[in-house]
């Protein structure tokens, strides 16, 4: 009969052995410059838009893979409103310990600076850039029954009916808002904008025919386009995209200045220790090379950045250039 003490010791060994069997990749231990004891508990990743939209989709794909090498869950928290700036501000004000991150983008971490006089944060100062995780083109989308067969007819129709049509977006400062503001400025129209907490719910309204058009990111459009429940007139990129090969570029359709690219960057609050940022960056860089990330992302028309674009410094450069670009673009649009 085993003594009680010996049985208890055996149980402890069994528990430790079982734990070792499920320990993820973090057993390899931190690389030089990374934080040895981080993370010791789950990380929160703020997504500043509603579930099911492009930011949410990219966040969940990348964070699930990051969790494997970090050895802790990365829990997505959708904090919506004000074009994503509420969620971004929450992250900027979080403890700089690496346990609160935000997936920001061209709207929250660039265009919003020119659209909100009191933004509450400076994208190029109040965050510690971690890694650029996705780039993707923007498409001009319309409800399936919209009475225009191509971009030329779309332009004629919206100019003739701008008082009765509407467009969907994810709030002032969002990618969808900023992109269509550029389009509307170039077309000389100013229809009613219908704000949503993200282009996930906005897409539902477009598919239902409740709104007329939207400028949205590729990853949110590919599937409804393939099932033909919506239509696309142009891609706001320099060239056609293999994910939607029949959609002409805005330049081909006669509006070369309609050029917009969306990007997603992972950010921690400023003053997050460099070693913690290095650990998070390593997990993101590794994740971007895994098929569990590359296949769904490229399948939805997103571009996974090459290694030289994944450094914190590279993301800082993107933010700096984009803040300047959108400040100039939106200044030109100001009434
Ligand atoms: C936007 O800026 O339009 C957002 O990215 C939409 C979303 O992610 O839901």
Q: Cα(175) to centroid of ligand 1, in Å?
A: 6
Cβ neighbors of 320 (< 8 A, separation 6 or more) are 124
- Is the shortest distance between the CB of 176 and ligand 1 below 6 Å? yes
Q: Cα(154) to centroid of ligand 1, in Å?
A: 23
Annotate 119-129 with b (16+ C-beta within 10 A) or e (fewer): bebebbebbbb
- Is the shortest distance between the CB of 87 and ligand 1 below 6 Å? no
Q: Cα(201) to centroid of ligand 1, in Å?
A: 10
The burial class, CB within 10 Å (0-12 / 13-18 / 19+), for 320 is middle
Q: Cα(199) to centroid of ligand 1, in Å?
A: 5
pLDDT value at position 238?
Answer: 86
Cα distance between residue 128 and residue 266, in whole Å: 9
Cα distance between residue 215 and residue 238, in whole Å: 16
- Is the shortest distance between the CB of 201 and ligand 1 below 6 Å? no
Distance of CA 55 to the CA centre of its chain: 3
- Is the shortest distance between the CB of 199 and ligand 1 below 6 Å? yes
pLDDT value at position 277?
Answer: 98
Nearest to 198 by CA among 46, 44, 48, 45: 48
- Is the shortest distance between the CB of 78 and ligand 1 below 6 Å? no
Q: Cα(11) to centroid of ligand 1, in Å?
A: 50
Structure tokens at 258: 């309609």
Distance of CA 281 to the CA centre of its chain: 17
Structure tokens at 25: 């990749």
Output the pTM of the full model: 0.89
pLDDT value at position 331?
Answer: 80
Give the mutation target among 217, 218, 260, 261 for probing the ligand 1 site: most ligand atoms within 8 A of CB.
Answer: 217
Atom of ligand 1 lying closest to residue 174 CA: 2
Cα distance between residue 237 and residue 255, in whole Å: 11
Atom 8 of ligand 1, residue of closest alpha carbon? 55
Q: Cα(105) to centroid of ligand 1, in Å?
A: 9
- Is the shortest distance between the CB of 200 and ligand 1 below 6 Å? yes
Q: How many CB atoms lie within 10 A of CB 258?
A: 25
Cβ neighbors of 244 (< 8 A, separation 6 or more) are 139, 218, 221, 222, 225, 232, 235, 301
Tens-digit pLDDT profile for the chain (335 aa)? 445 455 555 544 444 444 444 344 444 556 777 777 999 999 999 999 999 999 999 999 999 999 999 999 999 999 999 999 999 999 999 999 999 999 999 999 999 999 999 999 999 999 999 999 999 999 999 999 999 999 999 999 999 999 999 999 999 999 999 999 999 999 999 999 999 999 999 999 999 999 999 999 999 999 999 999 999 999 998 899 999 999 999 999 999 999 999 999 999 999 999 999 999 999 999 999 999 999 999 999 999 999 999 999 999 999 999 999 999 888 876 65
Cα distance between residue 19 and residue 22, in whole Å: 5
pLDDT value at position 15?
Answer: 45
Q: Cα(55) to centroid of ligand 1, in Å?
A: 6
pLDDT digits over 180-202, tens only? 999 999 999 999 999 999 999 99
- Is the shortest distance between the CB of 198 and ligand 1 below 6 Å? yes
- Is the shortest distance between the CB of 170 and ligand 1 below 6 Å? yes
pLDDT digits over 152-183, tens only? 999 999 999 999 999 999 999 999 999 999 99
pLDDT value at position 146?
Answer: 98
> Alpha helices of 147-288 — where are they, by DSSP H?
151-160, 175-187, 199-207, 218-226, 274-287
The burial class, CB within 10 Å (0-12 / 13-18 / 19+), for 37 is exposed
Cα distance between residue 218 and residue 251, in whole Å: 18
Cα distance between residue 285 and residue 306, in whole Å: 9
Q: Cα(197) to centroid of ligand 1, in Å?
A: 8
């Amino acid at each position: 009969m085993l003594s009680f003490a010996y049985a208890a010791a055996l149980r402890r060994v069994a528990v430790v052995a079982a734990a070792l069997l499920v320990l993820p990749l973090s057993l390899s231990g931190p690389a030089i410059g990374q934080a040895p004891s981080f993370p010791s508990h789950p990380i929160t990743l703020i997504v500043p838009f509603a579930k099911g939209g492009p930011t949410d989709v990219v966040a969940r794909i990348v964070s699930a893979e990051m969790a494997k090498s970090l050895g802790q869950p990365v829990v997505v928290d959708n904090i919506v409103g004000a074009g994503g700036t509420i969620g971004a501000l929450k992250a900027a004000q979080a403890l700089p310990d690496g346990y609160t991150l935000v997936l920001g983008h061209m709207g929250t971490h660039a265009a919003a600076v020119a659209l909100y006089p009191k933004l509450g944060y400076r994208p190029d100062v109040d965050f510690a850039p971690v890694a650029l995780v996705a780039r993707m083109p923007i498409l001009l989308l319309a409800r399936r029954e919209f009475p225009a067969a191509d971009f030329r007819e779309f332009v004629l129709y919206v100019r003739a009916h701008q008082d009765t049509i509407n467009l969907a977006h994810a709030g002032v400062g969002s990618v969808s808002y900023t992109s269509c503001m550029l389009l509307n400025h170039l077309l000389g129209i100013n229809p009613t904008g219908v704000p949503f907490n993200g282009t996930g719910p906005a897409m539902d309204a477009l598919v239902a025919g409740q709104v007329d058009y939207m400028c949205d990111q590729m990853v949110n459009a590919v599937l409804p386009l393939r099932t033909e429940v919506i239509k696309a007139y142009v891609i706001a990129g320099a060239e056609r995209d293999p994910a939607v090969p029949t959609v002409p570029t805005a330049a081909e359709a006669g509006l070369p200045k309609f050029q917009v690219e969306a990007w997603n960057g992972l950010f921690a609050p400023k003053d997050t220790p460099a070693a913690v940022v290095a650990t998070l960056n390593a997990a993101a860089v590794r994740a971007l090379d895994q098929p569990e990330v590359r296949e769904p992302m490229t399948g939805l028309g997103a571009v996974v950045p090459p290694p030289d674009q994944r450094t914190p410094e590279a993301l800082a450069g993107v933010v700096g250039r984009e803040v300047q670009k959108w400040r100039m673009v939106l200044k030109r649009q100001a009434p």
